[in-house]
Amino acid sequence: MLGSEDSTGAAPLAGITVLEVGAFMAAPFATMQLADLGATVLKIEVPGAGDPVRTTGPFLEGHSSPFARLNRNKRSVALDLKSEGGREALRRLAAEADVLVENLRPGAMRKLGLDHESLRATAPRLVYASASGWGQDGPLAHLPGLDIMAQARGGLMSITGTPDGEPTKIGVPMCDLVCALYVALAVTAALRERDRTGQGQYIDVSLLEAGVSFAVWEAGKYFATGEVGRPLGSAHQTSAPYQAVRTADGHVTLGAVTPKTWSGLCDVLGLRALHADERYADASRRHAHREALIAEIEDVTRGWTTADLVRALDEAGVPCAPIADYGQVFTDEHLEQRGYFWDAAHPVLGPVRQLGSPMRFSRTPAVRSAAGPLLGEGTAEALRAVGYSESEIRELAAHGAVGLADGDAARPDPSDTREREDPA
């Protein structure tokens, strides 16, 4: 195997080698999950340029801060896939790898002769996953597809925001990210299936279908009644009260949808009359009369500070939370005490603060290793592992087919005396 990890290592995917031919978000976020789980991820990048995220600020010492976080625990292998030398290097890497994840436009890998069908003859055990905007076939497949287009066409933007507001996308690139998570899940499932059959397979995941998969409540309404979902601000689609309500100094989110929590909310706010009102007898009827209900609730909550209301609701066992900005999230005491944030080593930047993996294992914890790699720093090592000699690596580098990190020239080849003359 290409990776140096022993298959008996602590991390769940130790011993699995993943090739990433990706850029921006979907493939890199998917392989970040696999790397966190212990897989050796070789990030295939264009020599001299790399993943375009390397040019995304803010920059520290000339290095992209987002890149150092999105590509943690990976190794960079710089190959020019437009050259035959670079393509052949990828073929040889794929023949020894377990997984390949790519998010180029559909057909791009086929034109390079690096699609699943082309690699399967020499890599029958390879699990090959493609992430794309619209999928590998269908009338939209040939079109470029970014996260915002998937949010738009997949319906998410039609229910996000306020009822009379401008079209609003979800604040994070949700379709990119959930597509990546589906890729990681599918890859782990395919590896498990390979344990039984010995065969790899092809995986096709699209941003569009990943986004549409979220429409659980909307599908429940439409397929039952024909009702089309609309923006509701922070309110729930079917239950109330489940939304943000105004306070004297901001907002508090609350979810009092069970009999117990609804009763608790009424007690805290001194609104026992609402508890006896037939209009509000259950979460569904409360939702049907939501505007009147929230108006009555906010008449009271506007007299509370956010901190006091959260404290009182917490004591009563009513689900609630203040709305935190990311400055508060990234310094949150709860997350700090749980050790969620961690520092990854970087050869230039030193410690780079990382978001933790949400996956917590009792015996095989997620990997906490290095920040995003320098471009090409793993090229020579990866090529040596699949049989390239030092002279072959130097020749490929000289022709631009591969890229090496600064100071990472191939080691001298004992059998090659062509460059061993004494300096003048």
Average pLDDT estimate for 63-71: 97
Based on the fold, state whether residues 286 and 393 are members of the same structural domain. no
Choosing from 322, 351, 383, the residue where a domain stops is: 322
> What local confidence, expressed as pLDDT, does residue 22 receive?
92
CATH number at residue 297: 3.30.1540.10
C-alpha span between 267 and 262 (Å, rounded): 9
Q: Any idea which residues carry the catalytic annotation?
A: 176
Choosing from 263, 295, 322, the residue where a domain stops is: 322
Chain segment 190-203, per-residue pLDDT in tens? 999 999 999 999 99
Based on the fold, state whether residues 47 and 155 are members of the same structural domain. yes
C-alpha span between 311 and 386 (Å, rounded): 60
> What local confidence, expressed as pLDDT, does residue 411 receive?
52
**Residue 5 pLDDT greater than 60, yes or no:** no
Three-class secondary structure of residue 115 per DSSP: coil
Based on the fold, state whether residues 303 and 345 are members of the same structural domain. no
CATH number at residue 375: 3.40.50.10540
**Residue 1 pLDDT greater than 80, yes or no:** no
Average pLDDT estimate for 64-73: 98
Residue 363: pLDDT band by 50, 70, 90 thresholds? very high
Which residues fall within 8 angstroms of residue 328, CB to CB, at 6 or more apart?
A: none
Q: Is the pTM of this model over 0.85?
A: yes
> What local confidence, expressed as pLDDT, does residue 383 receive?
98
Average pLDDT estimate for 300-313: 98
Range of the domain at 110: 17-213+339-403
**Residue 44 pLDDT greater than 50, yes or no:** yes
Chain segment 176-224, per-residue pLDDT in tens? 999 999 999 999 999 999 999 999 999 999 999 999 999 999 999 999 9
C-alpha span between 37 and 23 (Å, rounded): 20
Based on the fold, state whether residues 399 and 306 are members of the same structural domain. no
Cβ 393 vs Cβ 382: under 8 Å: no
Based on the fold, state whether residues 273 and 359 are members of the same structural domain. no
Based on the fold, state whether residues 256 and 345 are members of the same structural domain. no
Based on the fold, state whether residues 312 and 373 are members of the same structural domain. no
The percent of residues in the chain predicted with pLDDT above 70, rounded, is 94
Average pLDDT estimate for 240-258: 97
**Residue 415 pLDDT greater than 50, yes or no:** no
Chain segment 384-395, per-residue pLDDT in tens? 999 999 999 999
H or E segment and range at residue 350: strand 350-354
Please check whether residue 271 lies inside any domain of the structure: yes
Question: How many domains in the chain?
Answer: 2
**Residue 420 pLDDT greater than 90, yes or no:** no
Q: Strand pairing partners for 74?
A: 41
Please check whether residue 295 lies inside any domain of the structure: yes
Alpha carbon of residue 351 to chain centroid: 22
Choosing from 295, 322, 349, the residue where a domain stops is: 322
Residue 406: pLDDT band by 50, 70, 90 thresholds? confident
Based on the fold, state whether residues 316 and 204 are members of the same structural domain. no
Cβ 373 vs Cβ 35: under 8 Å: no
Give the side-chain half-sphere CA count within 13 A for 283.
17
> What local confidence, expressed as pLDDT, does residue 409 receive?
57
Please check whether residue 192 lies inside any domain of the structure: yes
Q: Strand pairing partners for 371?
A: none
Please check whether residue 411 lies inside any domain of the structure: no
Based on the fold, state whether residues 276 and 146 are members of the same structural domain. no
C-alpha span between 249 and 153 (Å, rounded): 37
**Residue 274 pLDDT greater than 50, yes or no:** yes
Which residues fall within 8 angstroms of residue 74, CB to CB, at 6 or more apart?
A: 20, 31, 32, 35, 41, 42, 43, 372, 373
> What local confidence, expressed as pLDDT, does residue 408 receive?
62
C-alpha span between 246 and 250 (Å, rounded): 6
161 CB-contact burial (10 Å; exposed 0-12 / middle 13-18 / buried 19+)? middle
End-to-end CA distance of the chain: 43
Cβ 303 vs Cβ 244: under 8 Å: no
Please check whether residue 203 lies inside any domain of the structure: yes
C-alpha span between 68 and 354 (Å, rounded): 9
Based on the fold, state whether residues 155 and 43 are members of the same structural domain. yes
Residue 407: pLDDT band by 50, 70, 90 thresholds? low
**Residue 172 pLDDT greater than 60, yes or no:** yes
C-alpha span between 218 and 238 (Å, rounded): 10
Three-class secondary structure of residue 126 per DSSP: coil
Based on the fold, state whether residues 162 and 38 are members of the same structural domain. yes
H or E segment and range at residue 79: strand 74-79
Average pLDDT estimate for 343-362: 97
Based on the fold, state whether residues 41 and 118 are members of the same structural domain. yes
Three-class secondary structure of residue 378 per DSSP: coil
Please check whether residue 258 lies inside any domain of the structure: yes
Please check whether residue 351 lies inside any domain of the structure: yes
Cβ 139 vs Cβ 132: under 8 Å: no
Average pLDDT estimate for 69-94: 98
> What local confidence, expressed as pLDDT, does residue 105 receive?
95
C-alpha span between 191 and 188 (Å, rounded): 5
Of the ranges 6-10, 397-401, 404-408, 420-424, the best mean pLDDT one: 397-401
Please check whether residue 191 lies inside any domain of the structure: yes
